[in-house]
Amino acid sequence: MKGPSKSTLLVIFFLFVFFNVECQKKGEIAPFSDGLYFKYKVIVDIGSSGEIIYRIKEMNTEYEIIVEYSLTLLPETMKHIVDIWGFIKESTEIKKHAKKIKKLKEFKGRRIVIWISPKELQIGNKFKTSLGDLQVKEKRTWENWDVWVLKGNLGVEFYYDIKTGFLVGSHVPSLPMVGSTKRILIETNADILH
């Protein structure tokens, strides 16, 4: 019986090399799973407070992440399709009351903000996320979590659990007509609540 041809072996070799290079380029595979969710309470100094919920659905080699906002100033729902590393492939804004769906290209290639690999969270590292460009500034304790603090534009801070890399909260400093805004993780089925 004959073994695989040289061309078949060559194709398999190149596929293996390509996948290996992609894995090294993008880093650790995101620890997402079907049914995983994160619920954040949002507290606004002036105006309405509310909640943001991220729900994850597994779809073969990618994930659908639905972001539901119960805040008056934001779109009602966002849908992101992300690859296994947590990078956004496609984003859609859904306004239920207006029955409007809008594809958003500005998020493509950015990380979904709810997770960054703990291996990559080192002081000085920069990330392009779905909520802007962030840079790791320090480690500290915030709301009973040991966190990495990432800062964005206008002094916005995001807090990532040191052990898991999941987003546990954020703080937006005072802005005119809004005041400051705080987001804190209040419910999840991931093992990170204290």
pLDDT digits (tens, 9 = 90+) for 74-101: 557 888 899 999 998 988 887 766 566 6
Spatial CA neighbour of 182 closest among 74, 38, 50: 50
Q: Which helix (DSSP H) or strand (DSSP E) does residue 12 occupy?
A: helix 6-26
List, in order of start, the domains of the chain with CATH numbers: 27-188 (2.50.20)
Q: Which helix (DSSP H) or strand (DSSP E) does residue 146 occupy?
A: strand 145-151
Is 80 in contact with 90 (CB distance < 8 Å)?
yes
89: left (phi over 0), alpha (psi -120 to 50) or beta: alpha
Q: What is this structure's pTM?
A: 0.79
Render pLDDT for 97-149 as a digit per residue (tens, 0 to 9): 656 666 667 778 889 889 999 999 999 999 998 888 999 999 999 999 999 99
Gap between the Cα atoms of 53 and 38, Å rounded: 6
